[in-house]
Amino acid sequence: MQIRRAKESDFPQMLPIFREVIEGGDTYDFEETASDQDAFEYWFGKGVTSFVTVDEPNNGQNATADNESREKILGFYKIIQNHRGRGSHVANASFMVASQSRNKGIGRKMGEDCIRVAREMGFRAIQFNFVISTNEPAMKLWKSLGFRELCRLPGAFNHKKLGFVDAVIFFKELV
């Protein structure tokens, strides 16, 4: 498994994972009717830095263009500024993992990589604005990586099956 910077040519593999995640209606505030262009802008728009986690072809030997065409994307994340101007020193990030790749440590590896990359990019902190309280794997992961739960937004997310549930704001200082 390898994490690398995402390229626009990765999008055709990313889109089905995006669709699968938002259709669940339990972790992201996107509507199922979000367009492919909405998805593309979310992961490759202005100011967005995205990364993909891939199965390494040829058992991890040096990557070539041919190998990259055979990579399977398992998940991805992005880093952006949480706010512009005087708030631009705080990062925000979003993560998606394909259903068949869950419970294999991919989210943790991406979370650890995101923290490292955010530091390298000069961010002083990371804030997650809208973690769904019923998303137990995410809640557990962020706490285990040292994020603090700052507050809950009561009933802020309309869960597809459970109705209105809380969203949580998480924060981690990087300096």
- Encode pLDDT of 92-119 as tens digits: 999 999 999 999 999 999 999 999 999 9
**Which pTM value belongs to this model?**
0.90
pLDDT for 26-83, tens place per residue?
999 999 999 999 999 999 999 999 999 999 765 555 555 555 568 999 999 999 999 9
Of the candidates 118, 97, 8, 7, the one whose C-alpha atom is nearest the C-alpha of residue 53 is: 97
Whole-number pLDDT of residue 62: 54
pLDDT for 124-165, tens place per residue?
999 999 999 999 999 999 999 999 999 999 999 999 999 999
- Residue 16, C-beta contacts closer than 8 angstroms, at least 6 positions apart: none
Locate all alpha helices (DSSP H) within the chain, ordered by sequence.
Answer: 11-24, 36-44, 65-70, 106-120, 136-144
Is the distance from CB of 74 to CB of 1 less than 8 angstroms? yes
